[in-house]
Copies of this chain bind each other. A is one copy, B any other.
């Protein structure tokens, strides 16, 4: 049934979004004293991220630069540099924090990689994503690791072509409908959606309405090996 199974990384194999929420909350606490009451600080930060995404791309460094910008704009230039320094410290801390792998992931990857060519496809910052893969203790399960700028149909098609993978025999497992499922269905592949409780607003998308025969939603990653085995029967 499948030649290759690919996994997303952030919030599929390990925690990611919860750290962004933590630093978002810190940001609100740092900036609030310099902003008029009633201003939605979090919404302003997300709007700044959205404006910058084309120029900056995804990841912690982009989040950090947008945070600094939003802090200065929201405070009308009144925020002291020492407060901005706290945001910078947060960026460095965020980039170097240890990877927290989800329970049971190593077992799932061991099972899947014993039966299928297994790869990792993640989007984001090259330095940070590489560090996470290398320090996760999971990299030996993957025949190939691809860090991409954007997870759209064009990018998936390009990656599959370069690795000589037939989309019809390709299955992508991930927590983002927008990044892991819809673009893979669009190029003829299969998508296993394993939702995670928190999702970045810029990564939101509706469930698929087409190609639903090539799509399944599973409650946890531990159900993936059994589902894959059933498809091969």
Contact = CB atoms under 8 A, between A and B. Distances in A.
A98 interface: no
Contact of A61 (B56, B79, B147): B56
A212 interface: no
Interface size class of A (residues with CB under 8 A): 35 or more
B72 A85 contact: yes
Main DSSP-derived SS at the A contact region: helix
Contacts of A77: 80-82, 85
Interface in A52-66: 52, 55-58, 61-62, 64-65
A95 B61 CA distance: 13
Give the number of copies in the complex: 2
A82 B88 contact: no
B56 A95 contact: yes
A57 B96 CA distance: 12
A102 B211 CA distance: 47
A74 to B, nearest CB: 10
Given A56-B127, A72-B85, 4 more contacts: A65-B88, A72-B82, A126-B147, A126-B149
Interface of A: 52, 55-58, 61-62, 64-65, 68-69, 71-72, 75, 77-82, 84-85, 88, 91-92, 95-96, 124-128, 130, 144, 147-149, 162
19 contacts: A55-B92, A55-B95, A56-B61, A56-B95, A57-B126, A57-B127, A57-B128, A61-B61, A62-B127, A65-B88, A65-B91, A69-B85, A72-B81, A72-B84, A75-B81, A77-B85, A80-B81, A81-B81, A126-B126
